[in-house]
Amino acid sequence: MSQPTISDLANEDRLFPPPPAFQAAALASDNSLYREADADHEAFWARQARELITWSSDFHTTLEWELPDARWFVGGTLNVSENCLDRHVAAGKGTKVAFHWEGEPGDTRTITYADLLDEVSRFANVLKDLGVEKGDRVAIYMPMIPELPVALLACTRIGAAHSVIFGGFSPDSIVDRVNDGECKLVITADGGFRRGAPSPLKPNVDEALASCPSVTGVVVVRRTDTEVTMVEGRDHWYHELVGSASPECPPEPMDSEDLLFLLYTSGTTAKPKGIMHTTGGYLTQVAFTHKYVFDLKPETDVYWCSADVGWITGHSYIVYGPLANGATSVLYEGTPDTPGKDRLWDIVERYGVTQLYTAPTAIRMFMKWGAEEPEKHDLSSLRLLGTVGEPINPEAWIWYHTHIGGGRCPIVDTWWQTETGGHMITPLPGVTALKPGSATFPLPGIGVELVDDHGQPIERGGGYLTLTLPWPSMLRGIWGDPQRYFDTYWSTYPGRYFAGDGAKIDDDGYLWLLGRVDDVMNVSGHRISTTEVESALVDHPAVAEAAVVGASDDLTGQAIVGYVIVVNTAEPSDELVEEIRQHVAHKIGPTARPKRVIIVPDLPKTRSGKIMRRLLRDVAEGRDLGDTTTLADPTVVDAIRSSAAEGPGSGR
């Protein structure tokens, strides 16, 4: 008998069925997609591929699968930019808005599908003139301006693979990624606007390129009008080249399995992995999920994913999914608190946004800023909300539902990864009854099982999340390292993809993500997930945000240490700390009561908003800190250390 291997402590029984009006109008309103996929998973995906994508030549075989290598839609050819642009313009939708772009300073651009096709074709010709050929890799290091999606699409038009490097990364990170991918060209900008000021990008590229021998050219978009050095013969201004380029550039037909892009995920210590995504399967799954998970009605919706294009969320759900589906989207350059903490709500109101897709870490920040910010604006255009990136605690879910969604919008909590390319576990909003904090069920055509330490399936309770079927947008490998691909994802549980996440399955079969298994704590032999304890902490009215870690402990193996940010109105004190500890015991049980709760001003996060628990463990165990280069704000660790030494809960 297989036993649950991670404790199941929290119990959430609120249920939100699809609102009847939403369901009546939804693209999917019953179980038929699930039934179809259950009956024949390959035939299901083949139908999606033929319905949602335009192929230059049809595929002859849906799937060739020899673990860990998948080939989807074998023999098919297509071009991604043609699917995202030309076919919509040819269908008479050239004047439809693709992007309502808004710069942080308040400047705006309205870009139609015809505009985008024109600029992508010109820039594709520029890339060719600069010597970029089919099969080459191009690095992109840019702010969130319209030229960023243009750059991605121009690469796909000529069959070059892009490798987007998030604009917040340092010169060293650029060097690692450019050299690993042997990129020929870098596309960048002088800078971008962040928190009301220009933030330079080109100087980082200049510094990096001193160590990148493969790069022969740099294209620079002028955004901030700041002074930059242009290296003669290597560097070119985007506007000069694009202005004089021809707007005719026939799309290159690509094999379904040709490389579309590389995107690097940074492990906590090891060398970043160049995740490989290919053409036909990726586009099929992102188009399918973008359409059905967001219930997209392209004629009337104004969709907004507030992620950065530098992450997979931006690739799949700002660029490729929405454009393949002919959607109208919002694209915003800056931060949510510039000039005021209501910037996002102002944008929602002005453009009449219908779907908003954001991260739990952002939602907890909005909670901390208070409901009065969204209340300044009319958010009644919203009809659906989404979350991605980490588990959403029920408290934040309910706040989002109430204060942003006005109690009427379904929330799609989407679990997936850079490696999966597209959504994997998520509700379908017209079908699934929601439980706050649960990503609910695998999508049609996706196989998920939880297993124990021996790889045996678990029917109820906590275990390791594995994927049992190949899926179209799965990663095809790690660039240059097939062995690492197999070892990382396919060797832990034979025959299965291991995602690295823990999850539990409840009595109704709902899935609850429990965070990375590396973070699971072992307290007196009980394996307790960070997610459940954090949710219980945030459930206390004084707690705005929380992160917990297991610190080694003589008595219990590991002891739970909770770092919490309290709301503005709470007075930090030893009594409050005690009350918060007891709250966790009351909510999910005494084994999960943190040994210490430390009130801190901030938490260490990566630029994409994920909490770096490794650093908190270092603090809790009094060690020197490991690598801090991926931190969004390196100064927070010092503040946390002094709180741990002297603040409430320090036991001083």
Closest C-alpha to 314, from 223, 401, 389:
389
How far is residue 218's CA from residue 233's CA, in Å, rounded to a whole number? 9
Cα–Cα distances in angstroms (integers) from residue 632 to residues 56, 362, 418, 607, 637, in the given order: 43, 14, 20, 5, 11
Taking the least distance from each CB to ligand WTA, the nearer of 73 and 282 is 282
What's the number of CA atoms in the CB half-sphere (13 Å) around residue 375? 8
Taking the least distance from each CB to ligand WTA, the nearer of 377 and 614 is 614
End-to-end C-alpha distance for the chain, whole angstroms: 47
Closest C-alpha to 72, from 446, 468, 482, 476:
476
CB of 174 to ligand WTA, least distance (A): 19
Reduced to 3 states, what is the DSSP secondary structure of residue 348?
helix
CB of 82 to ligand WTA, least distance (A): 26
Tokens of 192: 């971008």
The verdict on whether omega for the bond into residue 339 sits within 30 degrees of 0, i.e. cis, is: yes
Taking the least distance from each CB to ligand WTA, the nearer of 180 and 308 is 308
- 70 forms beta bridges with 65
Reduced to 3 states, what is the DSSP secondary structure of residue 632?
coil
Taking the least distance from each CB to ligand WTA, the nearer of 118 and 413 is 413
Output phi, psi for 273, to 5 deg: -100, 125
Q: Which DSSP category does 16 fall into?
A: B
Annotate 181-245 with three-state secondary structure.
Answer: HCCCEEEEECEEEECCEEEECHHHHHHHHCCCCCCCEEEEECCCCCCCCCCCCCEEEHHHHHHHC
CB of 411 to ligand WTA, least distance (A): 11
CB of 6 to ligand WTA, least distance (A): 14
How far is residue 329's CA from residue 310's CA, in Å, rounded to a whole number? 17
CB of 511 to ligand WTA, least distance (A): 9
CB of 526 to ligand WTA, least distance (A): 21
Taking the least distance from each CB to ligand WTA, the nearer of 466 and 643 is 466
Closest C-alpha to 77, from 54, 47, 56, 46:
56
CB of 186 to ligand WTA, least distance (A): 23
CB of 514 to ligand WTA, least distance (A): 8
Taking the least distance from each CB to ligand WTA, the nearer of 133 and 627 is 627
How far is residue 295's CA from residue 304's CA, in Å, rounded to a whole number? 13
Q: What is the CA radius of gyration of the chain?
A: 24
Q: Which DSSP category does 517 fall into?
A: G
Which burial class, exposed, middle or buried, applies to 108 when counting CB atoms under 10 A from its CB (0-12, 13-18, 19+)?
exposed
Taking the least distance from each CB to ligand WTA, the nearer of 164 and 185 is 164
Taking the least distance from each CB to ligand WTA, the nearer of 294 and 415 is 415
DSSP assignment of 404-415 equals ITTTT--EEEEB
CB of 608 to ligand WTA, least distance (A): 6
Residues 6+ apart with CB under 8 A from 197: none
Tokens of 328: 């109208």
* CA 227 to chain CA centroid, nearest Å: 33
How far is residue 426's CA from residue 531's CA, in Å, rounded to a whole number? 18
Taking the least distance from each CB to ligand WTA, the nearer of 500 and 572 is 500
Taking the least distance from each CB to ligand WTA, the nearer of 328 and 361 is 361
- 523 forms beta bridges with 526, 557
How far is residue 416's CA from residue 420's CA, in Å, rounded to a whole number? 6
Taking the least distance from each CB to ligand WTA, the nearer of 190 and 390 is 390
CB of 420 to ligand WTA, least distance (A): 8
What's the angle, vertex CA 156, arms to CA 146 and CA 61, rounded to 5? 140
CB of 389 to ligand WTA, least distance (A): 5
**Which residues form the interface with ligand WTA (CB under 6 A)?**
265, 311-313, 388-391, 413-418, 439, 499-501, 513, 516, 608
Taking the least distance from each CB to ligand WTA, the nearer of 80 and 388 is 388
CB of 175 to ligand WTA, least distance (A): 22
Taking the least distance from each CB to ligand WTA, the nearer of 417 and 492 is 417
CB of 503 to ligand WTA, least distance (A): 8
Per DSSP bridges, beta strands 235-237 and 254-255 are unpaired
CB of 289 to ligand WTA, least distance (A): 12
Cα–Cα distances in angstroms (integers) from residue 34 to residues 7, 38, 297, 364, 443, in the given order: 30, 6, 21, 33, 7
CB of 439 to ligand WTA, least distance (A): 5
